[in-house]
Each structure stands twice: as structure tokens, then as C-alpha cells.
A and B are shown apart, each in its own frame.
Chain A
Amino acid sequence: MRKVLVLTEAKAGNVRGVSLEALSAAQRIAEGGEIIAVAIGSDSTHYANVLGKYGAKKVYIIGNEELNVYTTDAYLQALRQVIDSVEPEAILMSHTAIGKDLAPRIAARFGLGLVSDVIDVQVDNGEVIFTRPIYSGKAFEKKKVVSGIPFATVRPNNIPVEEIGGTIEVVRFNVEIKDLRTIVKEVVRKTTSGVDLTEAKVVISGGRGVKSSDGFKQLQDLAEMLGGAVGASRGACDAEYCDYSLQIGQTGKVVTPDLYIACGISGAIQHLAGMSNSKVVVAINKDPEAPIFQVADYGIVGDLFEVVPLLTEEFKKVLVNS
């Protein structure tokens, strides 16, 4: 049995899906031990109950105003005080902007090993074994912590989430926060759909074949219809059809959505590394020899400017009829 501490995150007032995945992973690691979720920010009271449905027994709510906007220092101080108080036997966070920035610092502070970006966790004879992609998914490795407690960040969209019900005990935890060294002056929202690319269940991705930033609007329409996000190949980003923050590949983001639709992407190896572990891949390309078809479950050889609008219409019909 292990007491597992899980840092949860919310976006627009809702718990992020990846935090529920982290709770599911925590259930495996806990082996019947207690799962303690940490919810940060003054809004977090609203979703504490949800965390209970996914396995948390206790929810530590930290409502300090200084934590409403993420800064490394403020979160570090808050988490340090929680960890000192809880003395967890394993820690999980999400491999999100916050988790990537914070987890290594926490690990360094407590002298811990950290396994980043895990897609699976198993307990074998009491030993916690994490699976993670390397070379952006060209290969995988299994990794364990050999000294100190298990600590990992969980990648979105990989661990099945199960609602198990259950009630929670809410602990209002007060932390002292001081001497912040960074000040967030401004946040400029650039993402239109509000769906984060790495967390999206559906990704519509465009390559050089999209030909212009105007061309990406058609992909945007399709993405919106399916509640997904738009991504791009390096070629499309280099040609300035879209922002670098959309780039998928070994340089750029790695995504594992349920559905990945590649439009006008030839499928260079460095792009395939970033998307080929998606559950279902659809390729739309004029060139029947394009390597993208080798990793596609379904392919349409044709002009994306003809296919994409038709597809948007067709999905509209399918979704209306369901």
C-alpha cells in the first residue's frame, strides 16, 4: 500500500482530463493505499467532488490568491508545504505546461528521481514500473525509481479513466507564499478552439499541401465540428502557414489522440514520430506513394481542398443523426 499524492489541474473551471488519468494511475500505484489530490486556486472547491469520483480520498484545497495564475515559485512553495505535511509514498503530476515546469524542480528540491511523460504504469511485485516514449515515440522504455519514492508526470490521452464513485474529505490547506521572483504581466490567448493540442481527442493536421494560412481555415472548420484541435507539420510551420505552437513531430509536440487526420502531409520520419501512436490515423493526400499512408488506418487519395469540406459536411450529418 502506498499513499499517493496527485497534483490536479483545471482549465476554465473544469478538471483536466489528464488529471483524471493521473488519478487512475495513482489507483494502480496505491494498491489500496490512500490517494490524496491537491487542487490549487480559489475555484478549486467547485470540482473537488469530481476528484472523489475518480479515486481521491482526500482533496487538499489550496485557495491562496497568489496561486490563481501559475508561477514556478508560488506553486513550488505550495507543493513543498503539502509534501512536507502529507509525506507521500509516491507523487504524480500531469505532463502539461505546469507539470513540465514544476515537477523537475520539486524532484530536485526533495532529491528525488522523476520519470517524465509516462503513458502507462504497472506494479510488478510491489515495484512501480513506468512506460514512456523515447525519441518522440520511435521507441519506448520502461523505467523505475531505484532510490526514493516513485514520482512521475503523466502524458495526456493514454491511461484509461474509470469512474469508481466515492466520497472525499476536503482539507483546506493554508500555505505561506512569499518572495516571488517572476511576475506574469500578461497572458495572450492564441488558441482559438480552447482545446489543447496535446490533450485533444481529435487532431486535424495540415502539411505543405495546405498551401497557405487560408487553407488552414478549412481544417479549423473540421476541427471545430469534431471538438478537436488543429496541428501542423514542420513544413507547414516553416512555410509560415501557421504558428510554431501547432507543430507536431520530433521537434514540436507529440500527440496521441483517438483520431488523427493528416491533410496534405507527406509523412517525414520526424513528423511520424510525433503522431504515429495516435489510436486511429486517417491520411488525405494527393500522392498515393506518400509515407503517411504507411501509418494510416484509412486513406483517401485525393485533393484535400475537395475532401476536407466534404468530410466536414459528412461528419455534420453523422453527428446530427446520432
Chain B
Amino acid sequence: MNILVLMKQTFDTEEKIVLQNGTISEDGVNFIINPYDEYAIEEAIKLREEHDGEVTVITIGPERAENALRTALAMGADKAVIVDSEDIDLDEFSAAKILTAVIKEREFDIILGGNVAVDYGSGQVGPRLAEELNIPQVTTITKLDINGTKAIIERDVEGDKEVVEVSLPVLVTAQQGLNEPRYPSLPGIMKAKKKPIERLEIDDLNIEDDAEAKTTVTETFFPQKKEAGRILNGDIKDQVAELAALLRSEAKVI
């Protein structure tokens, strides 16, 4: 089974955001694999363990993103591809066009990705790519079983569970609860050093039309700082009565 995984390297979720000249500073930032993509990588490795085949992890990013690929390889992926995006403005339209060009030359049975990235959070690239490749998609999945050319998939729909049947090839996006991603083992880390990473430039790719961004960011800013709140005092019962009254008369939310 040929398994492709879409991965993005993101800020660690513990990081604070710092603006420098209106853009987000990467100084001293710890980077991780987007947590939702980590579920996708884990699921891909589990699929290979069950059905044999090969797991290829694909990313678009600057050089630092290779660290995330190495981690994925150390978890157990077989090979990796990075498309260099240094100094190029990309949006979701561009990313999907680039990935289409990378993937249409390859054989695959299933493509996995996270349902959203914890940085820009648009969740567009998976469904866009499925459309470009003209294959079905199942998003926010929490369980995946493949039997021959069919998959039975459970997905999270606003808290409810939907069970879906679909034929391969298919693109799926991972939701929390799909699995528990493994930590790379020491032998895994050693092996990863010898696994191949294919490095591509956007100019090398055969992109249909072009991948120029359709959207642009005009400003990045912080939410307004809230004034310090009020900690209530006194007997707990009195505090509760006061809180209910405040929510009704002052905050007007009850």
C-alpha cells in the first residue's frame, strides 16, 4: 500500500506569539510537527504495519522543516519530500497546487493529513488537494479500517460520530482521538538518519496554471488586552449570589 502523509511544521502550542515589524517572529521559537499531522503520521505507520507498503511524508516549508521530517522518519515513516518555500508567499491555493504537482506523479492508495494546522488554522489544503486530484475525502476522522479497496471510517461531526464507507484512493484528515502518536525510539532516530529526503524547488515542479497566492495578509495584530477581572470575596454562598447578579445586571449574559 502506498501511503502519503501531508505534514506541516508549526510553532509549539506552548509558544507565545511575538510581533516584530508587523510579522510574527520566529526567534527562539520551538517548532513541532503540527499535532493533527502527528495523528496522520501515526495512522499511516499503523496502516503500513497492517497492510505492508511504504509511508512517504510530504511537506512544504523552509529548511527548518526538515527537522520535523526527520522526526516523522524516526517515528517510522520510510521517506520524505520537502518542497522549499523559503521567501515565497504562499496561501492555501498555492499549497494545494504545489502538492498536486508533487503527488500526481506518484502512486498512492491513501493520503492522510491533519484536519487543521494549529498555526493558521484554515484546514483548507486537504480538501483542496482532494479536489485537485479528483478523489473523495473524509475529514476529521477518528477511526480508519481498510479492507481491500474499501475503507470504513468514523468521523467526528461537531461531537457526533458518523460512519462512512468510501473506496480507495481517498484523502482523509485526522481528528484528535484517532490514535496515540508514538515517540521516536532511539533505534528509530538512528535509522532515520539514513532514510532519504527528496528536496524539491517550486520551479522544478510541473504546476498546472500557476500557484500564485489568491489571498494576502494586510495586517497581523493582537487582541485587545482585557482589564483585570474581579475576584469575589466573602462566604462562598454570598460569592455565588453576587456572581449570578453580576452576570445578569453588569455583564448581561444571563
Contact = CB atoms under 8 A, between A and B. Distances in A.
Interface of A: 72-73, 76, 96-97, 100-105, 107-109, 111-117, 129, 133-148, 181-191, 196-198, 201-202, 226, 237, 243-247, 249-252, 254, 258-259, 268-270, 273, 276-277, 279-283, 288, 293-302, 306-307, 310-311, 314-315, 317-319, 322
B46 interface: no
B240 A314 contact: yes
Nearest to A316: B244
22 contacts: A97-B158, A100-B139, A108-B132, A113-B92, A116-B92, A117-B122, A135-B119, A147-B214, A181-B166, A182-B136, A187-B161, A188-B161, A190-B160, A191-B158, A245-B159, A259-B254, A269-B16, A270-B13, A277-B223, A302-B239, A307-B240, A311-B244
Interface of B: 11, 13-14, 16-17, 19, 24, 35-36, 91-93, 96, 115, 118-132, 136-140, 142, 152, 156-167, 175-177, 209, 212-223, 226, 228-232, 236-237, 239-241, 243-248, 251, 253-254
B101 to A, nearest CB: 14
Contacts of B240: 300, 307, 310-311, 314
A245 B177 contact: yes
B160 A188 contact: yes
B213 A134 contact: no
Contact of A298 (B13, B157, B161, B247): B247
Contacts of A145: 214-215
Contacts, number: 270
B160 A191 contact: yes
Nearest to A283: B229
Given A114-B92, A187-B160, A252-B176, A143 B218 contact: yes
B253 A259 contact: yes
Contacts of B142: 244
A251 B118 contact: yes
Given A103-B127, A104-B123, A105-B137, 13 more contacts: A73-B136, A104-B126, A116-B92, A129-B218, A136-B118, A141-B217, A141-B219, A142-B219, A188-B163, A280-B247, A282-B247, A298-B231, A302-B236
A113 B91 contact: yes
A139 B160 contact: no
A72 B131 CA distance: 10
Contacts of B236: 300, 302, 306-307, 310
- 10 cross-chain pairs, A with B, having the tightest CB-CB distances, nearest first: A113-B214, A116-B122, A108-B131, A104-B124, A181-B136, A104-B127, A244-B177, A113-B215, A108-B128, A191-B159
A100 to B, nearest CB: 5
B14 A270 contact: yes
Contacts of A103: 124, 127
A283 B229 CA distance: 10
B229 A184 contact: no
Contacts of A311: 240, 243-244
Contacts of A112: 93, 214
A306 B237 CA distance: 9
